[in-house]
Amino acid sequence: MKTFVFIFAVILVNFALTPSFASVQDLKETSNINQSDEDNENPGTNNLLPFDHDVAAYEIIAPESIVEPNVDIETCVSVCNLGEEAETFNVIFNIYDYDPDTLVYHTVKPGTHLTVESGLHELTFSYWTPGDSGRHYVAELIVSCASDQNPDNDTLIKHVWSGAAVAEAPTTKGFDLKIDGQTILFSVPYQARAEIAVFDVSGSKVRTLTDKIYPQGTHNLTWDGRDVRGNKVSQGIFLVRMEARGFEATRKVIIVN
């Protein structure tokens, strides 16, 4: 189930340059440094040539990379105007439950106005509550401006983990893959994406049985002996392979027609 939280606020900002803000040129010269930060993945740009119209997603300040489970967090980001003209644009902030199809938080500040003198600007959004320890989230900051001439710096990504144990030291302990008759049993010690596929003995993939996020616990699948096109495979030995958060395991199955 997808849960959407919509929060709309309109802010009008018209700052004069003060010593507490970086200058526009400083931001242009340092923007590529932020884009290479290991926690803020921006497909970003190395193009530092000035544009008349260029707004950028600069930093996801909060949440941090590791957050306390089940505690409200006030989300905060920074955006900037690197262009030579004043701009009005939308700022969108999403948080996904590691699965790009599972949006757990969504908020927008429409009509944000920045003059060229304002440079960097912080925006605070509503509270977000991460789940239990071990959850992996992806935060996404997007700026949207119709006149933007440099879209490469419009999106910023940050990985967030709930609870320090999993974030600091991901472990494969507790993952498992077993074959019980015609049933494939697999276990994940915390919520994690698991991919299970069938290969022939030459290493060619026959069919992917599952590739999605599963909650903590033991789960089961069955394979009907058919390939990705729905055709029955010939008799022989096949390999069932599982990959999940660094865990890899292969089990043998025999098909007898």
What is the torsional sign of CA 72, 10, 116, 14? negative
Domains and CATH numbers, the chain: 24-167 (2.60.40.10), 176-255 (2.60.40.4070)
Distance CA 199, CA 121 (A): 52
Residue 242: per-residue pLDDT = 93
Task: Kindly state the tokens that stand for 184.
Answer: 């494939």
Q: What is the pLDDT of residues 112-158, one digit of tens each?
A: 887 765 678 889 988 999 988 888 888 889 988 888 888 878 888 88
Distance CA 76, CA 57 (A): 12
Q: What is the pLDDT of residues 32-86, one digit of tens each?
A: 334 334 444 443 333 444 678 888 888 999 999 888 888 888 899 989 888 888 8
CA 175 to chain centroid, in Å, comes to: 23
Task: Kindly state the tokens that stand for 130.
Answer: 């991460």
